[in-house]
Amino acid sequence: MTRPDTTTDRATAHATTARAATAGSTSVPPRGPRAVACTRTAVPAQRRDRGTVVLVDPLHTGAGFKRAARERGYRVVAIYTMPREVLRAIDPEYTRGAVLNLHTRDVPRAARSLPSDVVAVVPATEPSVDFADRLAARLGLPGNLPATARARRDKTEMRRRAVGSGIRVPRHQVTHAAGIRSAADALGYPAILKPPTGAGSAGVTLLPDAAAADRAVAALTGTDLFGAPVLRYLVEEYVRGRELAVNVFTVDGVHQLVDVWEYRRPDGADYDQPYWDVVQLDPDDPAAAAGWAFARTVIDAFGVRTGPSHTEIKLGAAGPVLIETASRLPGAHMTDVWAAHAGLRPFEATIQALCADGTAGRGALAAFTRPVTFDARPAVCCIGNDDRPGLLTAVHGIDDVLAIPGVAQVLLGYEVGQQVPLTTGLDSVVATVLLSAPDRHTLTDVLDRVRGTLKVEIS
């Protein structure tokens, strides 16, 4: 998951946009599915009229779908399944760019509220996967299997589906808050605590011992990152090993690997949030081949037959283990890398893959039907706050970092003068640097230089 950032690059040094407050700061439960609230907004003129594309929860990374749909001549209807308070916290102007905005979590009611010329339903971010597939099926539009949609979003259902399909997952228990300690005791330490419907590692907590489990229970808010109530929690064994993210695009049931990334921490210590250095693996890395083979089995078992998927895996001592999978584009700026280093247009291609009008052409989508070649080896360097919460008083070294060969952008998650929490997931990373190098050895050097140059000052 990504979010709006303050952006600095070579062309627009120190250009800024307002940072949205994180959704994890609210504890308002979602509205019930009874009502469908609608708003209409003005949007820029479109080049042509091809019908309507429905975007479900187009926030964070998913905001790119609005632009892609409009540029292709589609009208945009946005459906939001999150509480309004959460939406405004993420983006106070979240309704812009759509001709109609609906607020509902009820698929039949949403279907009745839509115009008659809908040609595609697109899951734009994590919470939308289940809803979008069920809505597409109801409207008779392309999509992934609605029967497995929930399992591609809710990690408790995900593990049930995986076990039934013979796919290895961590040993785990599903329990209410009062049962977390006993579940962790039974599984053994270290363990991991997760809200089943979180994202970006928000709410994921490492439990190294029983005392940590007790502290984690006391700190529970009762909601996930998107404001939905958490009634049951996932407690599972901690699996040690390399952690990979495998990105795949499926067209007409045929899976094409896009790339494999590794989440790299600075040492061998156990962790609960993986965002440190996120590095695209060389295609000839044996770990990439193992991840791709395992991910292909996973997405087949989970009914992925069209569009993007993102599968996270641990390479444990006994072999690959499924951490999560979802039929959506990845976050963590991976789609930015695709555009910059492979000329891909992932938002447009996803709309085309899910479109029933037959008029969109095959340009963007065709690039995902053959092996993808990158012109460099990219990485994302995440600068977090691992010390204590405080006020961001300065960010040092931005110009020097931008002068390092291979650095493309510096993205600030907070503005000077804002309160910065401890980094517990992607939504609380303080600064993100997008970079690349011609080979993995040079890439390691660039990452080291960036981390040694860019310093955040928190008081």
Q: Could you give the angle at the alpha carbon of 69 between the alpha carbons of 40 and 115, nearest 5°?
A: 45
Which of 156, 91, 148, 169 is CA-nearest to residue 125?
Answer: 91
Q: What angle do CA 248, 252, 256 make, to 5 degrees?
A: 25
Q: CA dist 217 to 26, 179, 182, 184, 224, Å?
A: 18, 9, 11, 11, 14
Mean of the per-residue pLDDT values of the chain: 89
pLDDT one-digit tens code per residue, 336-346: 999 999 999 99
| pLDDT tens readout for residues 108-139 | 999 999 999 999 999 998 889 999 999 999 99
> What's the CATH fold of domain 242-458?
D-amino Acid Aminotransferase; Chain A, domain 1 (3.30.470)
Taking domain 31-141, whether its CATH number is 3.40.50 is answered by yes
Any idea of the CA torsion for 173, 179, 181, 185, to the nearest 10 degrees?
-50
Q: Which residues contact 336 (CB under 8 A, 6 or more apart)?
A: 409, 434
Computed over its alpha carbons, how large is the radius of gyration of the chain? 21
What letter represents residue 355's amino acid?
C
Cα distance between residue 234 and residue 312, in whole Å: 16
The ranges of the chain annotated as CATH 3.30.470.20 are 242-458
d(CA 437, CA 36): 49
Hey, which residues does 247 pair with through a beta bridge? 259, 310
Express each pLDDT in 404-444 by its tens digit: 999 999 999 999 999 999 999 888 999 999 999 999 999 99
Q: Which amino acid is at 459?
A: S
If 0-12 CB within 10 Å is exposed, 13-18 middle and 19+ buried, where does residue 252 land? exposed
Query: How far is CA 376 from each of CA 42, 109, 331, 405, rounded to the nearest angstrom?
Result: 40, 47, 20, 12
* Share of the chain residues as helix, strand and coil, in percent rounded to the nearest 5: 30, 25, 45
Domain 171-237 class, CATH top level: alpha beta
The span from the CA of 43 to the CA of 134, in Å, is 27
**Where in the sequence of the chain do the CATH 3.40.50 domains occur?**
31-141
| Span(s) in the chain for CATH 3.30.1490.20 | 171-237
pLDDT in tens, 157-204: 999 999 999 999 999 999 999 999 999 999 999 999 999 987 777 789
